[in-house]
Chains A and B, each alone.
Chain A
Amino acid sequence: MRLIIDVIACEANGACTRILPEALELDDEDQLHLRLAVIPPELEDKAERAVRVCPRQALRLEPSKP
């Protein structure tokens, strides 16, 4: 799976980075960065939770392109 960030919607609340620091990082200018191009299976549960808790619903999870 891969994570997609809606950069217009993201308001740097940091809810996702607390759950999934392995893949998501906020810089000191409030920009959210994706650290992993592909979310490995062992992180998928956490990724789903990160998508769910985002107050702006600015993340989505999609199947990786084959």
Chain B
Amino acid sequence: MNHKGTIVHFDFDPDSESFAYDPYPAYAWLRTNAPVYHWEKRDTLLLSRLEDLRTFLTHEQLSTDIADWEHHPGGQLFEQPGFEAWGSIIATSLFQLPPADHARVRKLASVALTPRAVRAMEGAVRATVERTLDDLIANGDEVVNIRDFTETIPLTVICDLFGVPSQMRAGFREFGLAAIRSVQPNLDPAVLSEIANGFTQGKVLLEQLIEARRTDPNPPADLLTRLIEARDEAHRLSTAELMSLIFALITAGSDTTVHGTCYAVFTLLRHPQALAELQADRSLLRSTIEETLRWDSFGKIGLFRYALSDFELAGVPVRKGQAVSGLMGAALRDPNGYADPDRFDIHRENVANLTFGLGRHFCLGANLARTEMMKAIEILLIERFPHATLAGEPVIDHHNPIMRPIDNLPVRLGADQGKAKA
């Protein structure tokens, strides 16, 4: 029943193929008819309005710590053989630490990721994007999968930032994918065992990375060295916190931007007029990226909080220990936040993008992610392949429970305009 008491048949099935390809009709229904929707299958309250997402992200009584989820159906990951070693590392993650520790640990990393700090990395990001694009076109294929292009850019940038040796990088990507899969409850035992293996191997990688740097006679003055010094000299970081923070930055920094960039390319190729405007005026690049993040958000149901007490949210009671999730893709199309929200408009000002969150857990890597996306779009679609077109429909992984990743985005690149002259 909706708020007017009319019986409505609404089949919410975020695992369906149709939802993965176009979740927006379902999102619009939820915003209008059930802005706080009880998703029975997972016993989770889903929020879909922009203002409710703001409240959700900043609410004092909503925790990011999965341990506060009293109705957690899983917990099995910790029962996997070899996983005990991860207990202290998970317990000191930025999503689990109490506020004072959270602020101390976060500050150590955030100073290296401010817009000013990231501007100094633009040249390195450009070089990475150009190298990745050269690899993509090395075979001379007329049609390429853009996912192959976006797949390695963030991993390379974040591994460069931490000075991760090249032979460890594939291992960190596997580790990151295991970490992302672990977010979801109700995983079957075979998958849990795979994830636990990924974590166990990842811990070895982390220890090797830290030890190699500690014994380096001439350590570079980078973020990893500073974090190790914060532990060894200033005692501002415990070993578990150090490992947890490096783990979080490398794994989080190597996945979301892959999908955000893929969607940005897809969205721009679906809007050739907007792309032509951007090609004529690069000063639109920043607002274009913000609009691609708003207009088609790759997130599905991955943003979870757990209630610390009984309270009301948008007039609906939330009980202590309950899971609440914010549907970012729905909020970013809310007509009460954006004029004509279904229109893709690269001229929107002050989009107040919630894509990267808000408040205490605002994405640490937001500035780096934006820069990676801007450079990827600038080099691929403005400088090198301005005549690129879609060569078919994308393949979206509808089985993924937390996001709608594009696995294949076939694009006909057209003539290469060559590298920009320095």
Q: Which residues of A contact B (CB under 8 A)?
A: 8-9, 11-14, 19, 26, 28, 30, 49, 52-53, 55-57
Contacts and interface: CB of A to CB of B under 8 A. Distances in A.
A42 B129 CA distance: 45
A8 B58 contact: no
Contacts, number: 40
12 contacts: A9-B103, A11-B113, A11-B114, A12-B115, A13-B114, A13-B366, A13-B367, A26-B116, A49-B350, A56-B362, A57-B359, A57-B360
Nearest to B104: A8
A30 B111 contact: yes
Given A55-B358, A57-B358, A12 B116 contact: yes
Contact of A57 (B58, B107, B113, B356): B58
B110 interface: yes
A42 B39 CA distance: 46
B190 interface: no
Which 4 pairs between the two chains have the least Cβ-Cβ distance? A12-B114, A57-B359, A55-B362, A11-B110
Interface residues of B, number: 20
B352 interface: yes
B359 A13 contact: no
A30 B114 CA distance: 8
A8 B100 CA distance: 10
B131 to A, nearest CB: 29
A39 B412 CA distance: 54
Given A8-B103, A8-B107, A55 B366 contact: yes
A50 B110 CA distance: 21
B356 A55 contact: yes
Given A11-B113, A30-B116, A56-B360, 17 more contacts: A8-B103, A9-B103, A11-B114, A11-B362, A13-B114, A13-B115, A14-B115, A26-B116, A28-B116, A30-B111, A30-B114, A49-B350, A55-B356, A55-B357, A55-B359, A57-B358, A57-B359
Contacts of B358: 55, 57
B286 to A, nearest CB: 11
Contacts of A53: 350, 352
A19 B350 CA distance: 9
Contacts of B356: 55
A52 B352 contact: yes
A55 to B, nearest CB: 5
Contacts of A9: 103, 360
A30 B217 CA distance: 31
Contacts of A49: 350
Nearest to B107: A8
A48 to B, nearest CB: 13
Contacts of B114: 11-13, 30
Interface in B92-126: 103, 107, 110-111, 113-117
A19 B352 CA distance: 12
A20 B115 CA distance: 18
A30 B367 CA distance: 14
A13 B365 CA distance: 11
Contacts of A28: 116
B107 A56 contact: no
B290 to A, nearest CB: 12
Nearest to B116: A30
Interface in B323-362: 350, 352, 356-360, 362
Nearest to A28: B116
Contact of B359 (A8, A14, A26, A56): A56
B65 to A, nearest CB: 19
Contacts of B115: 12-14
